[in-house]
Amino acid sequence: MKNLIGDSPAMRRLRNTLPLVAAAQVGVLLRGEPGTGKESLARAIHAASAQRSGPFVTFACTGAPPEAFARTLGQLPSGPAVLYLDEVGELNAEEQARLLFAIAGQDGAVAPAPLRIIAATSQDLDGLVRQGRFRRDLDLRLCVVPLEVPPLRERLLDLPALTAQFIAQAAQRHRLEPVRLKPSAERLLRRYLWPGNLRELANLCERLVILLPGTEIGPENLPSEILRGTPPSEQALGIALPPHGIDLNDLEAELIRQALSLSGGNKSRAARLLGLTRDTLLYRLQKHLIVG
């Protein structure tokens, strides 16, 4: 679990769940925004499983050339193997059928058994199923155990440890002196929303190491988007506290109902609209006795 850095509540939940998921030889679906570290979590699951001595094969479903997926399945080594599928919602109908056969073991020539699939997606697979763009039977096999991978903005407690790791890795990779962050720079990093998640943070750390090796980083060295990324004003949010006050519980319940309405009842999408994990949304649905 060395790749699962951080002590935020979201990461503690993932670490507590990981041994149970690793021990169960079932399909795992990792859901989360791009750049959140889904592949690192998949590798951690593999490393903690009984199949850890077998290969961990990755396939990027986005933009793959024709027949690449069939070739990957056909070249899987004999014996236990884990196939990690990044952005599984991008598979076309033929590829989905091939994958279903591989999982179900209906065609021994397609892929050797036993094969464990760990799939990842930033899309709403339930919505793709309703639109007829993704097979429901395949979705059910992939999503035996769903795990929500939180965005970086929900685990800012982990930011110092993550930043230190990415700086150290970049310094070692390029054989340069690591940079050091001034407290003023660290504060700006904590106030930024990180739309690119871990990938964006890693890229920033590598850029700083390459351009400013061995130096102390202040706000003047940070990109303009981070300098602008201060908490939005109440005018930008369109929210103002009325003179008579509000009931926060009622407000939270109403926002949840609006998110469910906008998402057509899809809880994963509603959670993303609210900036929550799906588990957190489910807890708050119970808290407010909302039937989603």
pLDDT band at residue 108 under the 50/70/90 scheme: very low
State in words which class domain 9-150 has.
alpha beta
Q: What is the mean pLDDT of residues 210-226?
A: 95
Classify domain 153-227 at the CATH class level. Answer: mainly alpha
Beta-carbon contacts of 113 under 8 Å, excluding residues fewer than 6 positions away, are 105
What pLDDT, on the 0 to 100 scale, is given for residue 29? 96
Mean pLDDT across 13-18: 90
pLDDT score of 232 more than 50 = no
Residue range 73-95: mean pLDDT, rounded: 91
CATH code of the domain made up of 245-287: 1.10.10.60
Query: What pLDDT does 169 receive?
Result: 96
Q: Indicate the pLDDT class of residue 162, thresholds 50, 70 and 90.
A: very high
Q: Which residues belong to CATH 1.10.10.60 in the chain?
A: 245-287
How would DSSP label each residue in 226-261? HHS-SPPPHHHHT----TT---HHHHHHHHHHHHHH
The answer on pLDDT for 64 being more than 70 is: yes
Confidence tier at 5 by pLDDT (50, 70, 90): confident
Domain with CATH 3.40.50.300 in the chain: 9-150
Which pLDDT value is given to residue 82? 92
Query: What's the chain's average pLDDT?
Result: 87
**CATH 1.10.8.60 residue spans of the chain:** 153-227
Per-residue pLDDT, averaged over 19-27, amounts to 91
The helix/strand/coil state of 150 is: coil
What is the bridge-based pairing of β-strands 56-60 and 145-148?
unpaired
- Per-residue pLDDT at 102: 87
Give CA 279 to chain center in angstroms. Answer: 14
* Whether residue 109 has pLDDT greater than 50: no
Q: Is the pTM of this model over 0.85?
A: no
